Amino acid sequence: MQDNPKKLPRLIIFGDAKRRYVTEAVEEFTSFAQGKAEILANCMRGDCLEDVLSRTDFAVVFGGDGTILSAARDLSETKVPVIGVNVGKLGFLAEFSIRELKELFERIITDSSLIDKRMILRCRVVGSQGEMFCSTAINDVVTTAGPPFHLVELKMTVNGEALASCLSDGLIISTPTGSTAHNLSAGGPILSANLSAMVITPLCPHSLSFRPIVIGAESELEVELLQINKGTSLVLDGQVRYELRLGEVINVSKHKGVFLVVNNPLRTRWDTLAGKLSWAEKPKYNTQEA
Residue 262 CB partners (closer than 8 Å, separation 6+) = 58, 81, 82, 83, 84, 95, 108, 114, 115, 116
Query: Are 8 and 37 spatial neighbours (Cβ–Cβ below 8 Å)?
Result: yes
65 is catalytic: yes
Residue 126 CB partners (closer than 8 Å, separation 6+) = 132, 248, 249, 251
The active-site residue, picked from 51, 57, 65, 116, is: 65
Query: Are 40 and 56 spatial neighbours (Cβ–Cβ below 8 Å)?
Result: yes
Q: Identify which of 215, 245, 264, 235 has the alpha carbon closest to the alpha carbon of residue 104.
A: 264
Query: Are 99 and 106 spatial neighbours (Cβ–Cβ below 8 Å)?
Result: no
Give Cα separations from 285 to 21, 152, 166, 281, 289 (angstroms). Answer: 39, 44, 41, 12, 11
Amino acid found at 186: A
Looking at the DSSP assignment, which residues form a beta bridge with residue 172?
142, 201
Catalytic positions:
65
